[in-house]
Amino acid sequence: MNYCAGAIFSRPPNVIRPFGARVSAHRLSAQASDWFAALPADGEMYGNDKWGDCWPIARRWVIALTRAAAVGEALRPAQQPILSDYTFLAGFNQLTGANDNGTDTSKGMADWCQSGVRVNDQTLDIRRWLTVDPTADAQLAIALWAAGPLMATWALPMAMQDPSNWSVAPGASTDWTTPWAEHETVWGKSDGNAEFFTRTWGQDLWVHPDVRRKFCIHTDVPLNLAAGQWIGPHGLTPDMIDRDALNADIAMLGAA
């Protein structure tokens, strides 16, 4: 099986703040969460065995998993919207495969916050943008439990081209020290401590804590502030979110 990557990591602008700066996270404790349960992985790679469309795939999974939890909509991502996203964000040519260079992570997040993602004729998914340290177990678990699925950016070594290696401690071979590519996945399940699962290449992979701390270089929190999608029965409630500050962040992002 061929596995492709396709993220181009760029740091968020300074106006984008950590999760704890805009959410009263001190009022929360880390809890187990499983956003994948409603829509289990089914092996569908959405072209990520041929093209570097991992970032729009991850974004569409975040939207689908959020809607499954919030409104019970059991619809999976579709191939054509993912490729259309990739074309818009990166100039990918769907006919020839040209410009298959991956998606700039900050450009993609800014587009999501400013223009939204069309889900259907009635729904435009628009997010607010925060970040969380992927090496800080408790912070990551709180953000995942409270805010929903998260966007994870990786700097993968050659060894992690093999999905079975995501669950083992990094070794000393050159496969673990030779860089391969940057890649985007979805954080969607945690035991509330140091155990996390990510979705990529049609699979839900348990990630060894040392692998996460070493190779996950960034995590974005795409917070949905739409009515009824805070999310669901979890700990994040409207009074815990500084909406005015979040909206001001995005306004400054647009002015930058």
3-state SS, one letter per residue, for 53-66 = CHHHHHHHHHHHHH
How confident is the prediction for the chain on average, in pLDDT?
A: 92
CA distance 12 to 131: 9
Residue 231 has pLDDT above 70, yes or no: no
CA distance 210 to 224: 30
Contacts of 209 (CB under 8 A, 6+ apart): 137, 194, 195, 196
Whether 166 and 157 have beta carbons less than 8 Å apart is answered as: no
Q: Which domains does the chain have, with CATH numbers?
A: 7-231 (3.90.70.10)
Whether 29 and 143 have beta carbons less than 8 Å apart is answered as: no
Whether 11 and 230 have beta carbons less than 8 Å apart is answered as: no
pLDDT of residue 232: 45
**Segment 42-65, tens digit of pLDDT:** 999 999 999 999 999 999 999 999
Whether 184 and 124 have beta carbons less than 8 Å apart is answered as: no
**Segment 91-127, tens digit of pLDDT:** 999 999 999 999 999 999 999 999 999 998 888 999 9
User: What integer is the mean pLDDT of 215-224?
Assistant: 96
Whether 231 and 66 have beta carbons less than 8 Å apart is answered as: yes
Give the closest residue to 147 by CA, choosing from 74, 68, 234: 234
For residue 221, the Cα-to-chain-centroid distance in whole angstroms is 7
Using CA atoms, how far residue 93 sits from 49, 53, 84, 97, 196, in Å, is 16, 12, 9, 5, 35
| Beta-bridge partner residues of 179 | 157
Residue 230 has pLDDT above 60, yes or no: no
